[in-house]
Amino acid sequence: MAIAKKYKAAVALFDRDAQYTPTEAIDIVKKTASAKFDESVDVAIRLGVDPRKADQNVRGTVALPAGSGKTLRIAVVAAGDAAAEARAAGADFVGADDLAAEIEKGMMDFDLMIATPDMMPLVGRLGRVLGPRGLMPNPKTGTVTTDVGRAVGEFKGGKVEYRTDRYGNVHVRIGKASFSPADLETNLRAVLDEVQRAKPAAAKGKYLRKISLSTTMGPGVKIDLNRLRVIEA
């Protein structure tokens, strides 16, 4: 009941049918954050793509200039010098067969997995465990790489993955409610620029359909696309 009460109070702070500039939306979202913990701020973007078609899937990474506000726990599947580089860069779990065996036993205490290309056959054995959780390394997101040290550093520093879901939506955390409005807007702009840059050639018509911001426990605040810098092919 307390959660419902807070949600209703948050909804009362703005007009849910109205659309706002990014700056206005961020100000509203920060006001709706009423939880006892530092809520995440997320952007939801509805794209004009058909995710059932491989050539219209949108997937990649974006570096958030102000960081994500979350400390990622990273597992790296590598051996030799690459494993040493991963440890030096701050990876939380590093190994090859030994790490794979732990994961097969149920060890899933990480948010992201990075692997060197030569280790992908080993990682492939874990697909049944990693796939449903969205943890399978992929070259498109920079999580299959020979430069694991750099990859670990970038993801620890605020680089995040994004991908379309089955409905053509992209959800990305752009920070925390405690972030300054300027930092949240800088991160939001970085995400929007990247998603626009990643527009598939096969996507026809209007690409950006809807955009909204919300906190972990709060309502969505719509952004007016007509008052947004939009790149359309």
Q: Domain 16-68+160-227: which topology? A: Ribulose 1,5 Bisphosphate Carboxylase/Oxygenase (3.30.190)
Q: CA distances (Å), 4 to each of 1, 8, 219, in order?
A: 5, 6, 11
Give the span between the Cα atoms of 122 and 97, in whole angstroms.
Answer: 7
pLDDT of residue 2: 63
Chunked into runs of 10 residues, the chain (233 residues) has average pLDDT values of 73 88 95 91 96 91 92 95 97 97 95 97 95 92 95 93 93 96 96 94 92 94 83 42
Does residue 221 contact residue 213 with C-beta atoms inside 8 Å? yes
pLDDT of residue 231: 43
The beta strand positions in the chain, using DSSP E, are 40-47, 59-63, 74-77, 93-95, 112-115, 159-163, 169-176, 208-215, 221-222
Does residue 103 contact residue 129 with C-beta atoms inside 8 Å? yes
Reported pTM: 0.82
DSSP 58-109: -EEEEE-TT--S----EEEE--HHHHHHHHHHT-SEEESHHHHHHHHTT---
Phi, psi of 226 (to 5 degrees): -75, -15
Give the span between the Cα atoms of 16 and 108, in whole angstroms.
Answer: 38
- How do the domains of the chain map onto residue ranges? 16-68+160-227, 74-156
Q: From 144, 136, 127, select the one nearest 163 (Cα to Cα).
A: 136
pLDDT of residue 171: 96
Q: Domain 74-156: which topology? A: Rossmann fold (3.40.50)
pLDDT of residue 74: 97
